[in-house]
A and B are shown apart, each in its own frame.
Chain A
Amino acid sequence: MTRFRTDSGERVVATRDEHGQLWLDVRSLHGETRRYGPLPPERPEGRSPGAGRARSPSADTGDTLHARTAGQVARVHVASGDVVTAGALLLVMELMKMEVELRAPRDGRVAEVHVAAGDVVARAALLVRFEPA
């Protein structure tokens, strides 16, 4: 954690997390605090804070299904080799006390299922991989 003052008198507290992302609190002379972060480590120069929002790296290409959030796998409804149509129920995740259904992004064959019921997975973890049917 680093503390410094800008030329205009703002007090700044900056930290980096374990992924190298930057977190900032900027306290103005009037006592208002603005908070930023996590700002991703790549290309720090010239990045606007709004654009710096690190979205979850879960862009499903259609060939893979990733966990959108950290959570626990409640049930798995498919096994490798299954042929599924778009929208088919693949697995159910449990987050806090809610259940979230994850469905097939497109038609295809399940190549690999990387999780089992009861597994705790991190955000963006690979859950299911598909191949053309």
Chain B
Amino acid sequence: MSVSTPRVPRLLVFQRGEIAVRACLAARALRVPSVLFVTPADVDSLACDHADELYLHDRAEARESFQSLDALRAAIARTGATHVYPGYGFLSESETLAAAVIDAGATFVGPDPGTLGRLADKGRAREFADEAGLPHLGVSLATVPGPGAYPLMLKAAAGGGGRGNLRVDQPGDLPAARERLAARAQQLFGDAALIAERYVTCARHVEVQFFGFGEAGCAVLGTRDCSLQRRHQKVLEEGPASARARELLVPLLPGFTAALARMGYCGAGTLELLHDLDADALYFMEVNPRIQVEHPVTECLVGIDLVRLQLELALGAPPAALRARIVDAERDTLASRGHAIEARVVAEDPANDYAPETGTLVRFELGQAPFARWDAGYREGARVGAHYDGLLAKLIVWGATRAEALERLAQVLDATHVHGLRTNLPLLRSLASDATVLADVHDTGTLERRPAVIAHADVSPLDAALLREAWRLTEAEGAHAHTAQPAPSNHPSLGQSWKDGHRR
């Protein structure tokens, strides 16, 4: 291979699910061939339909595939990819992954490794917040925090997603808690370092979607509110954030975008903040230097394909021209049109503590309405296994007002039907018409404080004749049942789930 000739672009999509679909669609729009990294668990996924080529990896376990640098290096070498799209989750914001891509002679679609390293570690991210002039909840552990600092939250510096968090209510509990969490952090993340934050009791989760154009500066594309969470997993996300949160943001943004511009930040990113409702103040939580699951909320509000924009920048479009084209004077503010809401449809059992569900999507009908968009990773008939998270699809609705968007959300969810495994649709439907949600007075703890159990299926009596008829008419479909085991076997080896996916 000649080093001097610029190579024809070829995108390796090192990702799965709905975001892999988005990457393939964006590549198609830009006339760049896409090669999808596929594991045996995903051979009948929707992304396979949209990729120009498939690269079949032989292992499905996350650790042996999407979390393996060796798997990535082999894929780049064998596909001749010039660019790698990381998406979200797995190693998408890993400094070592970005460095491995560059070492392999390809371009990482995202910020440079140094930027990722600086923002991923919670301790170092706090330094960034100081530099950007963003208030944060950090409590120094260098000295013993005084009584006024409690309750405080101990966190693993290298952790994420709520794992390795411990609440400490009084000074006397701190030494034991530190010892316990440090051991746990070492075990979980290979790093015993801890940080501490003041614990906020009543808060909203506020986000700022931004996009960095390197030397051409950083643009703010709007806000989101993701306060409806269950165990630190977002359930409903909406935009824009509350008027009060946006008001509090205005003085903070110039310092923030200037700090990113000084880093030469390239690509999509999200600033996460906590709106402490008692103190009526915003506090920095973290910067996620990647695309986020809920980015379509912003796409609907400002009319920009963020995934395509990520690719265009990485493919070498002049940053200043790109910025000028997509961010006009009107967009580069916190004003946006109407209201957008995203609901995550997840394979999990609401009545069994939201335990992950596996199975085959024998019915997968996604409801329709004007201004409703589905970003799905599966199609009907596909098998959903236990190797990855259970996100099946995202519904994004737009409305001229928040009330209109919620009404539309309820309507589309009611017309959405999934058979073959249990999902969180009952929870989503209940939230779409929930009085607290409608009144917009919920906070990040609202879902946790509620009784956890939501029935998955209806309990009202079913007509015996109707039931007999349903059994009779579906008898042919049930033919497979005699060959399949009702209970999953132990040791579902990789080969097993692979075959299951094909048998269908």
Contacts and interface: CB of A to CB of B under 8 A. Distances in A.
The judgment on whether A and B are partners is yes
13 contacts: A2-B473, A14-B470, A15-B474, A18-B481, A25-B417, A36-B462, A44-B467, A48-B461, A49-B462, A57-B487, A96-B390, A120-B387, A123-B355
B475 to A, nearest CB: 8
A100 to B, nearest CB: 9
Given A53-B457, A97-B161, A33 B414 contact: yes
B325 interface: no
Contacts of B363: 1, 13, 15, 23
A2 B474 contact: yes
A72 B470 contact: no
Contact of A35 (B161, B385, B458, B465): B458
Interface string A9-42: 0101111111111111110000001111110110
A96 B356 contact: yes
Contacts of A72: 386
Given A6-B466, A20-B484, A114-B490, A14 B389 contact: no
A74 B179 CA distance: 21
A6 B469 CA distance: 9
B477 A15 contact: yes
- Where chain A touches its partner, the secondary structure class is loop
B190 interface: no
Given A48-B461, A56-B352, A16 B478 contact: yes
Contact of B480 (A20, A22, A121): A20
Nearest to B386: A70
B1 to A, nearest CB: 37
A124 interface: yes
Interface of A: 1-2, 4, 6-7, 10, 12-26, 33-38, 40-41, 44-50, 53, 56-57, 68-72, 75, 95-99, 114-115, 118-126
- Where chain B touches its partner, the secondary structure class is loop
Nearest to A94: B163
Contacts of A98: 163, 231
A124 B474 contact: no
Contacts, number: 184
The range of chain B's interface size is 35 or more
B162 interface: yes
Given A2-B477, A4-B473, A121 B355 contact: no
B147 interface: no
Contact of B487 (A45, A119, A124): A124
A20 B464 contact: no
Pairs of residues from A and B, 5 with the lowest C-beta to C-beta distance, nearest first: A20-B481, A122-B488, A69-B355, A23-B419, A70-B386
Contacts of B450: none
B466 A96 contact: no
B233 interface: yes
B482 interface: yes
B469 A125 contact: no
B489 A125 contact: yes
